[in-house]
Amino acid sequence: MPDLSVHIGRLKMKTPVMVASGTFGYGPEYADLVDLNKLGAIVVKGIARHPTRGNETPRTVEVASGLINAIGLPNPGFDGFVEQYMPFLRQYDVPVIVNIWGKTIEEYAEVARRFDEVDGVHALEINVSCPNIKEGSGLFGTDLDMFRRVVEAVRKVTDLTLIPKLAPNVSDIRAYARAAEESGADAISLINSVPAMAVDVETRKPKLANVTGGLTGPGIHSLAVKLVWEAAGAVRIPVIGIGGIVTAEDALEFLIVGASAVAVGTASFTQPTTALDVTDGIAAYLERHGYGAVHELVGTMSSE
């Protein structure tokens, strides 16, 4: 059996396959369907300092290439999350990565500072790239100076492994990858959803209450592979590849272009065991190709 373990900052994972924020709830929602202990990590839905309700419905719409969502980051707030979900998550032998967000730089720093003291939280994914709320979050991901300031502010208040999640809709992803590294991030994850919309032609109304949303699923996979390749080439910190993973082959593409780990997102909605199936597929591939450990495959794309 090849060695599937991956180290990202201080985070130690048994496998390179985690589940992406926003597609796996806070863990309990999937616990009857998936052996949580077999996941590389669980990245929980975004948490802010205070509870929020999110957007009006409809919040999701299926399109030919995936799903467009405009959920708007509803969340139980820091206190609600720690009280309601951390006792459950602490029962498992799986790293917990909390996706954090705020409307101001101070809010990001405040929620990060509080998580620094929470037993059982292993890393923070900084959500600077949600396209679905009007203030904060999304804006921080597409303005390089704001992006740097958020990462620096969070870095100052916590020793937890920090993973900014990059937006795809920027002119040069390498600049954001480098800014993350220079600002003290331990890793980067990419991509978040791609801004998108859908219209009902009979009513001529937008299909989402928020009008626009973020596209996820198979339709964004090839775009994500290209951006992960560019980002991984620009930094020394590990990269986590996200975007439209359905099969082991999709995940292997990310590893080969330079990602050290991957996260399965939208596919968990239709097949909750996708992350575990992808893990088995990666192990089988490594064995078939004579690799002793998954890290040996990272960044091995051949140019011949």
Q: Of 130, 255, 263, 282, which one is the catalytic site residue?
A: 130
CB of 293 to ligand SIN, least distance (A): 32
Distance CA 186, CA 13 (A): 15
* Minimum CB distance to ligand SIN, residue 127 (Å): 5
Check binding of 166 to ligand SIN (CB under 6 A): no
Q: Is 258 in the site for ligand SIN (CB under 6 A)?
A: no
Examine residue 127 and tell whether it contacts ligand SIN (CB under 6 A).
yes
Among 16, 22, 168, 218, binds ligand SIN (CB under 6 A): 22
Closer CB to ligand SIN, residue 69 or residue 158? Answer: 69
174 belongs to the catalytic site: no
244 binds ligand SIN (CB under 6 A): no
- Tell whether residue 263 is a contact of ligand SIN (CB under 6 A): no
Kindly report the three-state secondary structure assignment for every residue of the chain: CCECCEEECCEEECCCEEECCCCCCCCHHHCCCCCHHHCCCEEEEEECCCCECCCCCCCEEEECCEEEECCCCCECHHHHHHHHCHHHHCCCCCCEEEEECCCCHHHHHHHHHHHCCCCCCCEEEEECCCCCCCCCHHHHHCCHHHHHHHHHHHHHHCCCEEEEECCCCCCCHHHHHHHHHHCCCCCEEECCCEEEECEECCCCEECCCCCEEEEECHHHHHHHHHHHHHHHHHCCCCEEEECCCCCHHHHHHHHHCCCCEEEECCHHHHCCCHHHHHHHHHHHHHHHCCCCEHHHCCCCCCCC
By beta-carbon proximity to ligand SIN, the closer residue of 74 and 120 is: 74
Smallest distance from ligand SIN to CB 100, Å: 11
Which of residues 15, 23, 132, 161 is near ligand SIN by CB under 6 A?
Answer: 132
* Residue 21: CB minimum distance to ligand SIN, A: 7
Q: Are 268 and 274 in contact (CB under 8 A)?
A: yes
- Which residue do the tokens 């309990």 mark? 28
> What's the closest the beta carbon of residue 122 comes to ligand SIN, in angstroms?
20
* Contact code string over 191-210 relative to ligand SIN, x by CB under 6 A: -xx-----------------
Residue of 27, 214, 238, 243 interacting with ligand SIN (CB under 6 A): 214
Binding mask 70-99 vs ligand SIN (x if CB under 6 A, - otherwise)? Answer: xxxx--------------------------
Q: Which residues bind ligand SIN (CB under 6 A)?
A: 22, 46, 69-73, 127, 130, 132, 192-193, 214
Active site residues: 130
